[in-house]
C-alpha cells in the first residue's frame, strides 16, 4: 500500500525546532503536491465569544498571529498552500485529535518546542504525539 500524503499538519509554537519541522513539511509538500496546516495550541481555556478579551489573551493572540504570518510567508515563498489553525487545551492531545478529526495524512513535529519540561531526546509534546497518534508522525530534530 502506498501512502498518499496530501494534507500535512505541523504544530507550531514559535520555537526554532517547530519552524525546522515547518521547513521539512514545506519541502515534502512541494514534492508531494500537498497542503500544509500550521496548528498552534494555546494552553489556555478557549475564551467565550461574548467575554471581553483579557490582556494576556491579547498578547497570546498577537504572538500566534506573528508565528502564523511567518509560517504563511515561508510556505508562500515555496508555492505551498498554507492554512492556519488555533486550538485550545493540552497541546499533545489536541494535535492528535485535530490530525484524526480533520483526516491529516502526516504530522511533522519539531523534536522540542517551548515546553518547560525538557526530556532527554524528545520534548514531552512530540513524545506524546509520537506514541498516541494513529496517523504517521515525522519528528524533526
Q: Where are the domains of the chain?
A: 7-140
> What does pLDDT average to in each consecutive run of 10 residues of the chain (141 residues)?
86 94 98 97 79 84 95 97 94 96 97 54 81 96 87
Distance CA 80, CA 7 (A): 11
Q: What is the pLDDT of residue 44?
A: 78
Under DSSP, is residue 72 helix (H, G, I), strand (E, B) or coil? helix
Report the side by side order of strands in the sheet with 137-140.
82-88, 35-42, 7-11, 106-110, 137-140
Q: What is the pLDDT of residue 114?
A: 53
- CATH homologous superfamily of 7-140: HUPs (3.40.50.620)
pLDDT digits (tens, 9 = 90+) for 32-71: 999 999 999 988 777 777 778 788 888 988 999 999 999 9
Smallest CA-to-CA distance from 37 within 88, 102, 91 is with 102
User: Taking the CA of residue 28 as centre, how many other CA atoms within 13 Å lie in the half-sphere pointing to its CB?
Assistant: 22
What pTM, to 2 d.p., does this model score? Answer: 0.89
Amino acid at each position: 500500500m502506498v501512502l498518499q500524503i496530501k494534507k500535512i499538519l505541523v504544530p507550531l509554537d514559535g520555537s526554532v525546532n517547530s519552524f525546522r519541522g515547518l521547513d521539512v513539511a514545506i519541502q515534502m509538500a512541494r514534492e508531494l503536491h500537498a497542503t500544509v496546516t500550521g496548528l498552534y495550541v494555546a494552553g489556555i481555556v478557549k475564551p467565550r465569544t461574548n467575554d471581553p478579551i483579557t490582556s494576556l489573551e491579547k498578547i497570546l493572540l498577537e504572538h500566534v498571529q506573528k508565528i502564523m504570518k511567518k509560517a504563511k510567508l515561508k510556505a508562500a515563498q515555496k508555492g505551498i498552500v498554507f492554512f492556519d489553525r488555533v486550538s485550545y487545551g493540552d497541546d499533545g492531545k489536541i494535535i492528535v485529535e485535530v490530525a484524526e478529526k480533520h483526516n491529516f495524512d502526516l504530522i511533522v513535529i519539531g523534536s522540542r518546542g517551548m515546553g518547560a519540561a525538557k526530556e532527554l531526546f524528545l520534548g514531552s509534546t512530540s513524545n506524546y504525539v509520537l506514541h498516541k497518534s494513529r496517523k504517521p508522525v515525522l519528528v524533526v530534530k
